[in-house]
Amino acid sequence: MSTSNRSDQKAKVEREFGERETARFEAFSDGVFAIAITLLVLDLAVPSSTTTAPGELGQALLVQWPSYFAFILSFATILITWVAHHAYCRALARVDGLLMFSNGLLLLTVVAFPFATRVLSEYLTTPNGRTAVAAYALLTLINNLSWNLVSFAFKPERRLLRPDAPAATVRTVRRNAALAIPLYLTALGLALINQYVGVAFLTAMWTFWGVMAYRDLNEKVGVR
Amino acid sequence: MSTSNRSDQKAKVEREFGERETARFEAFSDGVFAIAITLLVLDLAVPSSTTTAPGELGQALLVQWPSYFAFILSFATILITWVAHHAYCRALARVDGLLMFSNGLLLLTVVAFPFATRVLSEYLTTPNGRTAVAAYALLTLINNLSWNLVSFAFKPERRLLRPDAPAATVRTVRRNAALAIPLYLTALGLALINQYVGVAFLTAMWTFWGVMAYRDLNEKVGVR
Amino acid sequence: MSTSNRSDQKAKVEREFGERETARFEAFSDGVFAIAITLLVLDLAVPSSTTTAPGELGQALLVQWPSYFAFILSFATILITWVAHHAYCRALARVDGLLMFSNGLLLLTVVAFPFATRVLSEYLTTPNGRTAVAAYALLTLINNLSWNLVSFAFKPERRLLRPDAPAATVRTVRRNAALAIPLYLTALGLALINQYVGVAFLTAMWTFWGVMAYRDLNEKVGVR
Amino acid sequence: MSTSNRSDQKAKVEREFGERETARFEAFSDGVFAIAITLLVLDLAVPSSTTTAPGELGQALLVQWPSYFAFILSFATILITWVAHHAYCRALARVDGLLMFSNGLLLLTVVAFPFATRVLSEYLTTPNGRTAVAAYALLTLINNLSWNLVSFAFKPERRLLRPDAPAATVRTVRRNAALAIPLYLTALGLALINQYVGVAFLTAMWTFWGVMAYRDLNEKVGVR
């Protein structure tokens, strides 16, 4: 094999290595997202058959509506975060320490969602509701801050991106992540004033992110 | 590199990108299916050793037959849904917003199965049995409706399919999904009249889907 | 493109399709194995801090030795089953209905292990121990029977194997699966006579499978 | 096909086979890491709404700080172990019995973390705290010993490595794993003397491993 062939070979090996690294990084993240989203089901409690009178099960299930609501809200939150994560990681060519650990922090907040969801389910309609919603909003805030950190790690000058990564998109994601911080702080503040206003704000916010993600996905495949 | 080479290159990059997207979409869905099916085991309660007299464990385990039945029914339901999902996704070349979110709704119902299964286990043989079976049938109905939405997203004119996707198969799946709606409504109605008739109908229905999936898989590899 | 090129193309597409199918089948199975093996940790109960006197935690943890033993036994069982499954699936070129559903049955028994493990943990040292070990042995028996069914689906004349699959190995696995049935029945019988003899027999059996798997893996890479 | 072509073909098949094996080995390990890290959330208990007075939820959540601390410590432990595992497996060309089973032992300790974490959460601030921290330190010690076994399986003379694997790196990992044993023993000893000193030592140790992993990842992509 000639020297030039060897050098080509080396570049190819390095590129493949980067791709394999990134694939495993994504696969691990995907795994954590998929597991956390599925563990949400454990937050749905079954009314005990020893305390539910005949004909009362329907009522006993309906009275748990905050559980179903919290389940759906957190499901949507994790799903939309996954869609965004997924779209973003596509631009990656390699992974460095900052990205690995800021992503680790992001995953930590994802993993904590089933806990915050149970707190929300249990307390939304009680006098402790404001604290419960504030705790939930706090987790979404930390989630957003770690997303900002991940975004920082994606800065083109840090050279983790593919050569063909759309610089404009990467910049937009970073800017949006920063612009969202005040929204999350607002949600936290509103929660401390009134639990229902706080939770309505969070729901509206995630609905908006969902619509944005929907349009984004359509644009990518040329549907409008 | 010449202009024509660049354009070829771009088409190749786009195709590979679509494939990678679809692969990750499938992998995430597979992950959720695999986790939800495994979490069903948490619905099987172990009789407490402090209340089970010597020589009574066999009896205490057998008396839980509704748990085992519900476990097997839900396992089969999720497995068959996965087989169908898997067969269907093969036709995909890319993912848009509607598909992502209708699939998200489908996954939400899959994730909720361990909950409905626990309700069914706990209440099947009690006076609240009709409500329990109706709740389970309702979940399968929503599961089917989201499957109809996914099927709609697969419409060839929406251009998410591979060029070589078998149009007839895709059409058949869509038609079958629509035709099944009255069956799910019947299951729900029967459950409200008699829990055992309702659950027998659900079991028969999934057995039928299972046989269909079995034949389908055989046909694909040329076994008959 | 010439006709002959098209036909080559079609054969290639079919082969790739079979490979993709098999890969997804394996990935789903792997997922279930990985989740079931990890859920075993939920069988390890933490002694309540309200009933554990100062200085008594060590004792309270040690007294739970049947939990640790059952945890390790089931971990080894699932790990070895995965190694065997994994080795076997390598020979696959495609998946038909029988394989999909016999594999589904196998996965159902894998998923049920955390339940049988909790029964074993809770009752091994109680007067109900024989029933507990017999229930565990029964699950391993059903696991083995579904493995026999999977092995049947692998018969070369059923044409699911790769052209280069080692026919002798596939035959050996099928024969061994059949030969093991009496061993599992023995374990079940012994459990009904004496719980400790039954569990010792199961442990010895899985140790033996482990040693066999160890040697097999070494042979494949030319270590002896 | 000529004889030489056949032999080339065979070498290629063997290499691809080894790669596929290794990929599945890594994917299974990744799955277990991802699930264990996510199951940690189940260790976070929600204060019961029936015993929490109005306005007391914040306090009730804060009083659980040992849970959050243990959650974060174990999350970091599993994440860093995964990063190391991942970096190490990259050097692999094939898997033999020793590697499969020493890796199995490593995964067993990973799976056990949610249990040790619950023990730590429940007992850290109680008079039983020293035993709880010692139990946790013992698990990290066994984790390290199995890592030493995995490292031994990677010895170049055992011929599991890729031809292009960086021999120096592999040697460094093996040496570091051995050098860490006294550190883990120290943690165990300190825990038996004072629970807070023990846990502080463990935290410092993992922070150090984290910094090392961070620098390592940066070096690989040429960031310093």
Between these two residues, C158 and A33, which has the higher pLDDT value? A33
Mean pLDDT, residues D41-66 taken together: 92
Mean pLDDT, residues D156-160 taken together: 86
pLDDT at A3: 57
CA dihedral C63, C66, C69, C74 (to 10 degrees): -140
Residue among B94, B111, B128 whose CB faces A38 most closely: B111
Mean pLDDT of chain A: 89
Residue among D35, D131, D158 whose CB faces C38 most closely: D35
Q: How confident is the model at residue C5 (pLDDT cuts 50, 70, 90)?
A: low
Residue among C13, C94, C114 whose CB faces B164 most closely: C13
pLDDT at B5: 66
Backbone angles phi, psi at D161, to 5 degrees: -85, 155
Contact B217 C97 (CB under 8 A): yes
What are the tokens at D115? 């249990």
Position of tokens 């120096």?
D168
CB D109 within 8 A of CB D146: yes
Q: How confident is the model at residue A90 (pLDDT cuts 50, 70, 90)?
A: confident
pLDDT at D1: 46
pLDDT at A149: 95
Mean pLDDT, residues C144-171 taken together: 88
pLDDT at B224: 45
Mean pLDDT, residues C182-193 taken together: 96
Residue C171 to chain D, least CA–CA distance (Å): 20
Q: Which residues of D touch C31 (CB under 8 A)?
A: 31
Q: For residue A113, what are the contacts with CB-CB under 8 A and spacing of at least 6?
A: A36, A40, A74, A77, A78, A139, D41
Mean pLDDT, residues D103-118 taken together: 97
Per-residue DSSP letters for D159-180? --B-TTS-HHHHHHHHHHHHHH
The nearest alpha carbon in chain A to D219 belongs to A96
Q: Which residues of A touch B111 (CB under 8 A)?
A: 37-38, 40-41, 75
CB B100 within 8 A of CB A217: yes
Q: Which residues of B touch A31 (CB under 8 A)?
A: 31
As beta bridge partners, residue D92 has D161
Q: Which residues of C touch B118 (CB under 8 A)?
A: none
Tens digit of pLDDT for each residue in A24-78?
888 899 999 999 999 999 999 999 888 899 989 999 999 999 999 999 999 999 9
Sign of the dihedral through C-alpha C15, C19, C20, C25: positive
Q: How far is CA B61 from CA B156, C46, C106, C125, D146, in A?
A: 51, 24, 22, 17, 38
pLDDT at D13: 65
The nearest alpha carbon in chain D to A32 belongs to D34
Residue C177 has pLDDT above 80, yes or no: yes
Residue among A24, A97, A123 whose CB faces D57 most closely: A123
Q: State the DSSP H helix or E strand holding residue B29, giving kind and residue range, or none if neither.
A: helix B3-39
Residue B119 to chain A, least CA–CA distance (Å): 6
Tens digit of pLDDT for each residue in C15-66?
776 777 788 888 899 999 999 999 999 999 999 888 899 989 999 999 999 9
Contact C128 B34 (CB under 8 A): no
CB B154 within 8 A of CB B166: no
Picking from D116, B39, B53, D118, the residue whose alpha carbon sits closest to that of residue C123 is: B53
Q: How confident is the model at residue C131 (pLDDT cuts 50, 70, 90)?
A: very high
Backbone angles phi, psi at B92, to 5 degrees: -80, 140
pLDDT at C224: 45
pLDDT at B3: 57
What are the tokens at A10? 């080396």
Instruction: Name chain B's partners: 3 or more CB pairs within 8 A.
Output: A, C
Picking from D82, D73, D146, the residue whose alpha carbon sits closest to that of residue D114 is: D73
- 3-state SS, residue B183: helix
Question: Chain A interface, mutation test: which of B1, B30, B32, B101, most A Cβ atoms within 10 Å?
Answer: B101
Q: How far is CA B21 from CA A88, B81, B96, C152, in A?
A: 12, 21, 10, 36
pLDDT at A163: 83
pLDDT at B211: 93
Q: Which residues of A touch B13 (CB under 8 A)?
A: 164
Residue C121 to chain D, least CA–CA distance (Å): 15
Picking from B99, C86, C57, the residue whose alpha carbon sits closest to that of residue D195 is: C57
CA distance B44 to B121: 9
pLDDT at A13: 65
From first to last of the 224 residues of chain B, give the pLDDT tens digit: 455 666 676 667 667 767 777 888 888 999 999 999 999 999 999 998 888 999 899 999 999 999 999 999 999 999 999 998 988 888 888 889 999 999 999 999 999 999 999 999 999 999 999 999 999 999 999 999 999 999 999 888 888 888 888 878 888 888 989 999 999 999 999 999 999 999 999 999 999 999 998 998 888 766 54
- 3-state SS, residue C161: strand
Picking from B30, B32, A214, the residue whose alpha carbon sits closest to that of residue C28 is: B30
Lowest-pLDDT range, A130-134, B20-24, D16-20? Answer: D16-20
Q: Which residues of B touch A46 (CB under 8 A)?
A: 115, 118-119, 122
Residue B36 to chain C, least CA–CA distance (Å): 9
Which letter, b or e, does each residue of B103-121 get, where b requires 16 or more Cβ atoms within 10 Å of its Cβ?
Answer: bbbbbbbbbbbbbbbbbbb
Q: Which residues of B touch A57 (CB under 8 A)?
A: 119, 123, 128, 131-132
Residue among D18, D24, D101 whose CB faces C86 most closely: D24
Question: Chain D interface, mutation test: which of A111, A117, A121, A188, most D Cβ atoms within 10 Å?
Answer: A111
Instruction: Name chain D's partners: 3 or more CB pairs within 8 A.
Output: A, C
Q: Which residues of B touch C118 (CB under 8 A)?
A: 46
Instruction: Name chain A's partners: 3 or more CB pairs within 8 A.
Output: B, D
